[in-house]
Amino acid sequence: GGMVLGKQVSPIALPQTVAAFHSLVGLAAMITSMASHMLHPNAGTMHMTAAILGDYIGGVTLTGSLVAFGKLNGNLASTPMNLPGKNFLNAGMLAAQMGIGASFLATGGMTELVATAALSSIMGVHLVGSVGGGDMPCCITVLNSYSGWALVAEGFLLNSPILTTIGSLIGFSGAILTKIMCDAMNRDIMNVIFGGIAVPPKKAGAIEEEPRVHVEATSESAAALLAA
């Protein structure tokens, strides 16, 4: 199935295709985390830590990758979401997740895993949605790194050294590639990772700029400009 889909994708559509595949990794991590905890409800701290982290990283990867796919594929607007107080929203959701994680480690309840799945999915939408479409290639590499760390969590849950090793390679290589991409595209890496943290939201009542007219460039028009 993957080979058939890959052959049908044009080279220019590869970034959004990669984003779509990353969403599957995130979904698999969420399902594995919940299923593993259901099978081993009395597991040790290491197993529970891997379950909550795999669930959280998987949720961010799942919805973040879907948003990145939508922006690159033209299904969603490429403009950043830019909600008022977006940085406080991110900080608040992260603090809430830390509280949920602490509660899960203390009680081992399934409710915390479900809450983590819901909250991390919202965070994925907000983090990637707050980044403009021009920065989506950098977001893809960040999500690639996230998918690797989700795979690491799956490796711990399934007691598979191979999954843990491969996930570590993907996670570290994705992080390195993110740094390289941000430097090459002159992008702020912190802005890409933390959902446009350095971009201020629009003020209420601010005058919006008129949309720019798209002008198609051809070889003839380029030659005319050079000759002028």
Residue 211 pLDDT:
47
User: Which among 148, 164, 168, 165 is positioned nearest to 156, based on CA atoms?
Assistant: 164
Report yes or no: 17 and 9 within 8 Å, Cβ to Cβ.
yes
Residue 85 pLDDT:
86
What sign does the dihedral 220-221-226-228 (CA atoms) show? positive
Model confidence, pTM: 0.82
Question: Which residues, including other chains, have CB under 8 Å from residue 19's CB and lie 6 or more apart?
Answer: 65, 66, 68, 69, 72, 136, 140, 143
DSSP-H helix ranges across the chain? 2-8, 14-39, 45-73, 86-107, 110-129, 136-157, 161-184, 189-193, 219-227
**What gap in Å lies between CA 19 and CA 178, rounded to an integer?**
14
Residue 205 pLDDT:
53
Angle ∠(135,139,145) on CA atoms, nearest 5: 155
Dmax (CA) of the chain: 77
**What gap in Å lies between CA 130 and CA 139, rounded to an integer?**
11
> What is the mean pLDDT for each group of 10 consecutive residues in the chain (228 residues)?
79 86 92 93 91 95 94 88 87 95 92 95 93 87 92 91 94 93 87 75 53 64 82
Residue 226 pLDDT:
86
**What gap in Å lies between CA 224 and CA 228, rounded to an integer?**
6
Residue 73 pLDDT:
87
Residue 2 pLDDT:
75
**What gap in Å lies between CA 22 and CA 65, rounded to an integer?**
6
Residue 1 pLDDT:
67
Report yes or no: 128 and 68 within 8 Å, Cβ to Cβ.
yes
Tokens standing for residue 214: 């798209």
Residue 203 pLDDT:
55
